[in-house]
Amino acid sequence: MDWLPRDTALRAAAFAEVVRLQRLYADAIPWSAIAQGFVFEGKAHPLSSKAEGIYAPAGHPAALSIKTTVPRKNRDTNPYVDELRSDERLMRYAYKEKGGSDNAANRSLRAAQAHQLPLIYFWGVAEARYAALLPVYVEADLADEWAFGIVPGELLATAHSGTHVHALFESRAPDRRYAAREVRVRLHQQAFRVQVLDAYEHHCAMCSIKFDEFLEAAHILPDKHERGAPVVNNGLALCTLHHGAFDRHLIDVSDDYRIVLHPELARRRDGNIFQAAFLERDGQLLHLPRRVEHHPSPVFLRERRRLAG
Ligand SMILES: [Zn+2]
């Protein structure tokens, strides 16, 4: 396989660039940054294709990256079709359909599987923003399902010296079942956070503070509730202070979107910050998203208050 050494060096350069992007943007890398590509042998190469999910560099038999985007429509109703079919062990990545099962794109993933080459998985968390998973490996070719089974690996080191990318990446997580589930949970949480913060234009719904470092996506109905889906109308963008109070039911929201302090909290006195953050908020309206379909569901709010007793 005379193409392998060069492929390995190219992969190392691509991975180093994606690690750099992760440091800059965490799990919400803008497409505009991914589209800049990476430099290898003095030339710019794409990291991914805008139009295609599966990307192999020109002249390389094996895919370098795969991508899942958030659909424009029904974005709030669990768009991750591939994910829904995934199980504990494998993440499903659908075949490219056009041109049949044996088209060039699918062949490039089979080549990655045959040589156990590490790939990058750009996983859409919101429109034009991606979490990057790396490395991932093609573990199975599920012809009956028209999908590949993908498993996450473990990033052992981010430095690279050209040909040593295998040594850096080949160790997979010790329990892959656990790893695939963990990864999926992290990705869904990240997607929820990005979508909720976007809906609220990166402000706390209660105090308007607007620094992402202090903002979180709160669940109205918790994850474990049967209706506690990670969708925007089951979320509130809250700063860490208000999120803490909300999670403890010290502060709540009425059906008409007013802030309601728990009597226990309303009785307390603790200086100016407490006064401004809590006492003066009582009865005020939430800062709501522009889009009505993003407003908190009154049904969920009612159910939440019922659960709190
Ligand atoms: Zn706040």
CA of 244 to the centre of ligand 1 (A): 10
CA of 22 to the centre of ligand 1 (A): 27
CA of 209 to the centre of ligand 1 (A): 6
- pLDDT at res. 154: 73
CA of 305 to the centre of ligand 1 (A): 20
Residue 176 — pLDDT band, cuts 50, 70, 90?
A: low
* Mean pLDDT of the residues in the chain: 87
Under CATH, which architecture does the 4-183 domain have? Roll (2.30)
Contacts of the segment 274-282: beta carbons below 8 A, 24+ positions apart:
277/207, 277/241, 277/242, 278/245, 278/251, 281/206, 281/207, 281/251
CA of 245 to the centre of ligand 1 (A): 10
Residue 168 — pLDDT band, cuts 50, 70, 90?
A: low
Residue 1 — pLDDT band, cuts 50, 70, 90?
A: low
- pLDDT at res. 82: 54
CA of 182 to the centre of ligand 1 (A): 29
Burial 262-294 (b: 16+ CB within 10 A, else e): beebeeeeeeeeeeebbeebeeeebbebeeeeb
CA of 234 to the centre of ligand 1 (A): 18
φ, ψ for residue 128, nearest 5 deg: 65, 20
Residue 166 has pLDDT above 70, yes or no: no
- Give per-residue pLDDT as tens, 24-62: 998 899 999 999 999 999 999 999 999 999 999 998 999
Q: What is the pTM assigned to this prediction?
A: 0.77
Rounded to an integer, the average pLDDT of 249-253 is 95
Please give the share of the chain, as a percent, with pLDDT higher than 70: 86
Domain boundaries, the chain: 4-183, 200-308
- pLDDT at res. 71: 67
- Give per-residue pLDDT as tens, 211-237: 988 999 999 999 888 888 888 999 999
Residue 79 — pLDDT band, cuts 50, 70, 90?
A: very low
CA of 237 to the centre of ligand 1 (A): 8
- Give per-residue pLDDT as tens, 262-285: 999 999 999 999 999 999 999 999
3-state secondary structure at position 260: strand
Rounded to an integer, the average pLDDT of 130-137 is 91
Determine contact, residues 231/297, Cβ cutoff 8 Å.
Answer: no
Residue 257 has pLDDT above 90, yes or no: yes
Residue 83 has pLDDT above 90, yes or no: no
Distance of CA 100 to the CA centre of its chain: 30
